[in-house]
């Protein structure tokens, strides 16, 4: 059973087509839905390729370095090229190499391919580049400016939005989206704002825009999207009962977690223990101490929202649940299915058998409902008059 969305194209109209680069497990494809047709999906990681093929088939899948993809591998002219290129060199937790880094620098071979398609008159009508918000400040804003400059030079109308998954699903996950439209697409007046709109624009994006060279800033587009409907899901609604692939921590391990909490977090647990059932998201982090050293802390939130999912690059990056009920606290790792739900994936989505492989796949992905919102309110209106 495949797990694409339920949006269908209008009768008699060819469905829009897309290319999905750095595709991971196909979360952008899930967000677009079955009303879109995939021309090519590409990722260098064989494990992610297996997950993609398990859910969508391998007919359009190319598991190899993006630098090995040629224009001849891509049929026709795609309506959309989606690229969630690696974030490690742009993340605040990374080494700060930016777009010159080995991993995040994979953007440039992708962009050479886009330019080669353009030289053949087959440039994608829309391009979406998705990455961490750290891109806005990487190397003092030089990387953000470099991306904008590259896309503007190719003739696209390009702007950016910062969208947080928490508006769609109970996970705090802000991400930057560069949105580019080919010059043969005419946006409706309501799709473009003269100044920064209310929704999807963070202070960091405003600051990054202010740092731009005037020539870049003059051609920057403030895309205007509506805010989504009020989210009615909380973390507790996504808990898997019984959890699969994880075990409950021992009482001694829970006591150890509680001992690692600062007074504020211990008080949160005490308040939760006063009645009812409360589901909290918990991380272990290394925090500085007043004396200049570092110590490990356990931090919990009971606001119905999970922290940002990350790949399992060490114990501190694995998110746990702390469930307090009838005065008793229990703890366990977030299950793979719960992590998938926090990415907006349906329960029919097939996850890898390995916990770490599942968590790596999901922590590297894009939240499907965010993609769906962009498809409905930005892509579809622009493509309505596609030539």
Beta strands 37-43 and 80-83 are unpaired
Condensed to tens digits (0 to 9), the pLDDT of residues 150-180 reads 999 999 999 999 999 999 999 999 999 999 9
Question: What are φ and ψ of residue 314, in 5° steps?
Answer: 135, 155
Return the C-alpha torsion angle 332, 337, 342, 344, nearest 10: 180
Condensed to tens digits (0 to 9), the pLDDT of residues 303-348 reads 999 999 988 664 446 899 999 999 999 999 999 999 999 999 999 9
Taking residues 276-283, report their average pLDDT.
96
Q: 245, exposed or middle or buried, with CB in 10 Å at 0-12, 13-18, 19+?
A: middle
Taking residues 6-10, report their average pLDDT.
41
On whether the CB atoms of residues 366 and 130 are closer than 8 A, the answer is yes
Condensed to tens digits (0 to 9), the pLDDT of residues 17-36 reads 999 999 999 999 999 999 99
Taking residues 290-295, report their average pLDDT.
86
Look at residue 9 in the predicted model and tell me its pLDDT: 44
pLDDT of 5 higher than 70: no
Q: 288, exposed or middle or buried, with CB in 10 Å at 0-12, 13-18, 19+?
A: exposed
More confident of the two residues 58 and 13: 58
Taking residues 199-222, report their average pLDDT.
96
Read off the pTM. 0.92
Confidence label for 236 from pLDDT (cuts 50, 70 and 90): very high
Look at residue 100 in the predicted model and tell me its pLDDT: 55
pLDDT of 98 higher than 90: no
Condensed to tens digits (0 to 9), the pLDDT of residues 77-95 reads 999 999 998 755 444 444 4
Domains of the chain: 17-231+362-383 (3.40.50.150), 247-334 (no CATH)
Strand ranges, E, within the chain? 17-21, 37-43, 61-63, 80-83, 126-131, 157-164, 174-181, 192-193, 220-223, 277-288, 294-301, 320-325, 328-333
Condensed to tens digits (0 to 9), the pLDDT of residues 125-155 reads 999 999 999 999 988 999 999 999 999 999 9
Residue 50, both tokens: 């297996």
Residue 179, both tokens: 């949105």
């Amino acid at each position: 059973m495949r797990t694409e969305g339920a949006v269908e194209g209008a009768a008699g109209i060819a469905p829009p087509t897309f290319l999905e680069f750095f595709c991971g497990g196909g979360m952008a494809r899930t967000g677009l839905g079955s009303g879109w047709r995939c021309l090519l999906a590409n990722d260098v990681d064989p494990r992610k390729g297996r997950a993609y093929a398990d859910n969508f088939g391998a007919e359009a899948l190319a598991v190899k370095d993006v630098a090995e993809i040629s224009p001849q591998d891509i049929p026709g002219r795609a309506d959309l090229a989606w690229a969630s290129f690696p974030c490690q060199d742009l993340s605040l937790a990374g080494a700060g190499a930016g777009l010159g880094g080995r991993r995040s620098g994979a953007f440039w071979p992708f962009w050479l391919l886009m330019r080669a398609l353009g030289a053949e008159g087959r440039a994608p009508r829309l391009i979406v580049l998705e990455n961490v918000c750290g891109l806005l400040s990487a190397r003092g804003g030089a990387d953000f400016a470099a991306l904008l400059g590259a896309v503007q030079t190719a003739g696209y109308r390009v702007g950016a939005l910062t969208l947080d998954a928490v508006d769609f699903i109970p996970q705090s996950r802000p991400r930057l989206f560069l949105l580019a439209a080919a010059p043969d697409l005419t946006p409706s007046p309501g799709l473009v704002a003269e100044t920064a709109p209310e929704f999807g624009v963070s202070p960091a994006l405003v600051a990054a825009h202010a740092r731009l060279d005037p020539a870049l800033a003059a051609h920057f587009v403030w895309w205007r999207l509506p805010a989504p409907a009020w989210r009615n899901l909380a973390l507790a609604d996504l808990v898997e009962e019984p959890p699969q692939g994880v075990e409950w921590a021992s009482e001694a391990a829970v006591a150890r977690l509680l001992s690692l909490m600062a007074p504020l977090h211990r008080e949160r647990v005490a308040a939760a223990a006063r009645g009812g059932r409360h589901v909290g998201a918990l991380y272990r982090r290394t925090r500085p101490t007043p004396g200049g050293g570092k110590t490990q802390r356990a931090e919990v939130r009971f606001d119905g929202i999970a922290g940002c999912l990350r790949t399992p690059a060490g114990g501190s990056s694995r998110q746990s649940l702390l469930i307090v009920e009838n005065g008793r606290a229990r703890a366990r790792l977030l299950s793979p299915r719960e992590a998938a739900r926090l990415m907006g994936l349906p329960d029919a989505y097939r996850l890898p058998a390995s916990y770490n492989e599942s968590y790596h796949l999901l922590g590297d992905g894009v939240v499907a409902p965010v993609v769906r919102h962009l498809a409905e309110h930005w892509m579809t209106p622009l493509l309505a008059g596609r030539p």
